[in-house]
Structure 1
Amino acid sequence: MKLSETLKGLGLAAGSLFITGCVLAPGADLTPSAKSELYDLVSINEQVVNAEPVKRINYNTFEAQSDRPYQYYVGPHDILSIRVWNNPDLSTNQQVMTSPFSAKSSTIKDSSELIRQRQQVTPEGVEVQANGMIFYPFAGEVKAAGRTVSEIRLELTRKLAKYVVDPQVSVRVQSFNSQKAQVLGEVKFPRPVPITSTPLRVLDAIALAQGLNDSADKAEATLVRGSERVIIDMAKLLDGDMAQNHLMHSGDVLNIDNNRYRQIVILGEVNKPVAMPYDRRGMSLNDALVAASGISQAYSNAKGVYVLRNRSEGSKPTIYQLNMQNASSLLLADRFPLKARDVVYVDTAGVTRWNRVINQILPTTNAINRFDK
């Protein structure tokens, strides 16, 4: 017997072994067992899915914000504009600032200009010193830090009354430099945001950071205040629940985390494997398959569409299996709710595995044929 015939025989035997069992077929072969100690296998049927299609949950409760009046307290390095009416020599120079939402706001390109106008910065004024005091002609040293502008105005009025008949004093903060909050994480422009006489809430801070990135976690955010951590329910906030729209204080840090811990991963024989952000307001199995541009008609095993869900406390992981060989399965998929960190996997068709095995064998058989010649 020729060596080539022997090699051909061995090649055919090996090929038969591969084709029969697809032992060395490339790619994953997810064929879960109904009897496994590691996981539970559950068929997606009428008993498993919701009675109605998965729909968006509205978390809007319209809880009112606190009615307590907001007060800004002056701090070191703030700049005050002080005016004594009919006494220009006792007044700091003033420049009238327009609202950031006036007609000129249409020219604003980013949040930097909004913040500048929010601060109402002008070149002149009286700076509050590091010890919290200001010096003003005829009034001497006046404590400013930790006070409202009304309290500062009243003390200036009392002290100037010795030198000015019925002094009419106005005080405003011209430049807000003493207090800031931080916006970090998955926003377009992480930055410090000044605390001003206009209340700063969570939504305001996000807007001044130019909004959320696509990769932002839209389920939860964290507001750090000193040693305290407040969890903000972003789903409720984005639905208009103002109870989540906390007032921010100086030194607060608002952290918008990445959604990588809440993604849904779609793998296997789909047209576009993808990791999609989880939305706790409602997502179905159909939503995941659409995000992956559907299952591959050429390579997928429609009987093997799986949802792998890791264990919850005290239970085994669960593998849900959906047979999508008929149209009714699409209705089931539309009623099957997904959870954060689910893995959707579409299995490979048997004929696809067979072809992949053949593609592995062909280079060997071609080499044998060349050797025989």
Structure 2
Amino acid sequence: MTRLKNSQAPVSSRLTVKFAGIGAALALSLLLGGCAFAPGMRMLTSSGGGATQRESSQATASAVKEDGTTIAASTSTESANATKTVSATGATPEIPIVELDIEYVRRSQQERAENGQQHVKLLSDQPTPYAVGAGDVLQIIVWDHPELAAAMGSTPAQNTSRPGDPSSGFVVDQAGDLAFPYAGTLHVAGLRTEEIQRRLSAALGKYFVKPQVTVRMASYRAHQVYVDGEVHTPGVIAINDVPMSLYEAIARAGGFSDAADQSTLVLVRDGVSHRIDLTQMVASGLNPSRLYLRTGDRLRVVAREENDVYVMGEVNKPVSAIPNRTGRITLADALSQAGSVNAATADAAQMFVVRGALNGTPQVFHLDGRSPVAMLVAKEFDLQPKDVVYVDGNGLVRFSRVLNLLLPAINAGMTAGVLAK
């Protein structure tokens, strides 16, 4: 019995060491391919069908000889069809990746400028003369008949008047009518002061000989616009006989505050919101003072914090980057606010910009930052609000993370093998 027990002990030890060796070998095999299972966020790309137009043209050009004959057309087409796509999960459709280069940035800037010009032309129209409306106060003088001036009422005392009190004069009621002695009730809404003057002269001519009538605006209260957001004094602004331009409305609201984004002004007109890029208008040579507001318009100046972009991944300081006062923020600006890419962990060839929402068509842009020319592209590529900038990690970092996860298991197996001996 004793001899049997002694013979079994080495077998158990050998089995333990064998299993420990198998565990170590398995761990090492997983370690070698561990980059594919590395923890953390990664931008996974795959090859999809559908080549871009630029790739197709390049493939066709490579398949044509100098004498004009075509060779290996099918092979070049197959190589051109290797377009990269990105997919977040299996439930989401694959999204083509747009490669950022100088030509694409130049083309996108030109398209943005053209779209801005068309949008401004859509909102621009010729200002119309001021028309009297409900709530306006008129000053009416009939010369050589001072007794009619008493109908205007006495001028309120300066210390007792309030901002909402109307000026001394004849008030146009809510129906747009004006009551004047001897002339009766006249409907004046939508008329200019000179037209009201002619109608009063004709009505008073029945009682007076060639009456001389003067009609002036005493208080403009019928037509207003509302300015809010990042201005110093938001509120209601009355429109007078001088057409109110975009610049004048902002100036009368106290000007932009320090947190204002001058590239995002939202004009609500007739229930439709229009985005106005004041910075792009000036850069395109358009004069914002030629864009006039109408009565009932609502102008909102958006804060820069609402148009931030997110920078994450292998950067020194993941941050929500804020545009400057002009509202512009480029890819280089966003990376600068994030403390630049992490030189030890980042893969400069894998920088992505994710754009879009769930209710729209998302876009993914890729930039290979290993070339100095790529920094020029990053400096000129404008980001849009709520873009996501992601810098992927390099293969060595993923290998190191897998190693850190597997080392405890390897050490435990080796320790068990040593103890079993």
Q: Which amino acid aligns with 1:246?
A: L
1:218 aligns to 2:263 (yes or no): yes
Q: Which amino acid aligns with 2:224?
A: K
SS of alignment partner, residue 218 of structure 1 = strand
In structure 2, the residue matched to 1:296 is 342
Q: Which amino acid aligns with 1:29?
A: R
Same amino acid, percent of matched pairs: 28
Pair 281,261 (structure 1): closer, same or farther in 2 beyond 3 Å: closer
**1:86: how far off?**
7.0
**1:12: how far off?**
5.8
Question: What is the rounded CA distance, in whole Å, between the counterparts of 1:84 and 1:186 in structure 2?
Answer: 47
1:127 aligns to 2:171 (yes or no): yes
Q: Which amino acid aligns with 2:45?
A: P
CA RMSD after TM alignment: 5.7
Encode CA deviations 1:60-104: one digit per residue, 9 max, x unaligned: 9999x999774211112222233456765533355899xxxxxxx
Q: Which amino acid aligns with 1:128?
A: V
Question: What is the rounded CA distance, in whole Å, between the counterparts of 1:241 and 1:96 in structure 2?
Answer: 47
Please say if residues 219 and 280 of structure 1, whose CA atoms lie closer than 8 Å, have aligned partners that are also in contact: no
Pair 17,179 (structure 1): closer, same or farther in 2 beyond 3 Å: farther
Question: What is the rounded CA distance, in whole Å, between the counterparts of 2:252 and 2:411 in structure 1?
Answer: 65
In structure 2, the residue matched to 1:248 is 293
1:330 aligns to 2:375 (yes or no): yes
Please say if residues 181 and 252 of structure 1, whose CA atoms lie closer than 8 Å, have aligned partners that are also in contact: yes
In structure 1, the residue matched to 2:135 is 77
Please say if residues 262 and 277 of structure 1, whose CA atoms lie closer than 8 Å, have aligned partners that are also in contact: yes
Please say if residues 265 and 276 of structure 1, whose CA atoms lie closer than 8 Å, have aligned partners that are also in contact: no
Question: What is the rounded CA distance, in whole Å, between the counterparts of 1:250 and 1:332 in structure 2?
Answer: 44
Structure 2-normalised TM-score?
Answer: 0.56
The answer for unaligned runs of 5 or more in structure 2 is 1-11, 48-81, 86-93
SS of alignment partner, residue 247 of structure 2 = helix
Question: What is the rounded CA distance, in whole Å, between the counterparts of 2:41 and 2:250 in structure 1?
Answer: 43
Q: Which structure: larger Rg?
A: 2
Q: Number of residues paired by the alignment? A: 341
SS of alignment partner, residue 263 of structure 2 = coil
Encode CA deviations 1:214-273: one digit per residue, 9 max, x unaligned: 5868368555337x8877564554446247843333344556789999876533212234
SS of alignment partner, residue 335 of structure 2 = helix
Match of 1:26 among 39, 60, 81: 39
Question: What is the rounded CA distance, in whole Å, between the counterparts of 2:277 and 2:289 in structure 1?
Answer: 7
In structure 1, the residue matched to 2:394 is 349
The answer for unaligned runs of 5 or more in structure 1 is 98-115
Please say if residues 137 and 166 of structure 2, whose CA atoms lie closer than 8 Å, have aligned partners that are also in contact: no
In structure 2, the residue matched to 1:104 is none
Q: Which amino acid aligns with 1:73?
A: A
SS of alignment partner, residue 191 of structure 2 = coil
**1:14: how far off?**
7.3
Q: Which amino acid aligns with 1:72?
A: Y
The correspondence of residues 1-373 of structure 1 with structure 2, limited to 5 A, is 16=28, 19-20=31-32, 21-30=34-43, 32-33=45-46, 35=82, 36=84, 38=94, 70-84=128-142, 89-91=147-149, 92=152, 93=154, 122-157=166-201, 169-183=213-227, 191-208=235-252, 218=263, 221-225=266-270, 234-239=278-283, 241-242=286-287, 245-254=290-299, 265-270=310-315, 271-274=317-320, 285-307=331-353, 319-324=365-370, 327=372, 329-331=374-376, 333-334=378-379, 337-338=381-382, 340=384, 343-357=388-402, 360=405
Pair 154,49 (structure 1): closer, same or farther in 2 beyond 3 Å: closer
Pair 201,317 (structure 1): closer, same or farther in 2 beyond 3 Å: closer
Question: What is the rounded CA distance, in whole Å, between the counterparts of 1:44 and 1:67 in structure 2?
Answer: 38
Question: What is the rounded CA distance, in whole Å, between the counterparts of 2:287 and 2:105 in structure 1?
Answer: 33
SS of alignment partner, residue 153 of structure 1 = helix
Please say if residues 78 and 127 of structure 1, whose CA atoms lie closer than 8 Å, have aligned partners that are also in contact: yes
Please say if residues 221 and 256 of structure 1, whose CA atoms lie closer than 8 Å, have aligned partners that are also in contact: yes
Encode CA deviations 1:312-368: one digit per residue, 9 max, x unaligned: xxx9966534142x6554345446x35647653211133433444455567879999
Pair 86,42 (structure 1): closer, same or farther in 2 beyond 3 Å: closer
SS of alignment partner, residue 138 of structure 2 = strand
Structure number with the bigger relative contact order (C-alpha 8 A, sep ≥ 6) is 1
Encode CA deviations 1:109-153: one digit per residue, 9 max, x unaligned: xxxxxxx7xx9x754322112332222334443443222222223
Pair 306,330 (structure 1): closer, same or farther in 2 beyond 3 Å: same
Structure having the higher helix fraction is 2
Pair 177,222 (structure 1): closer, same or farther in 2 beyond 3 Å: closer
Structure 1-normalised TM-score?
Answer: 0.62
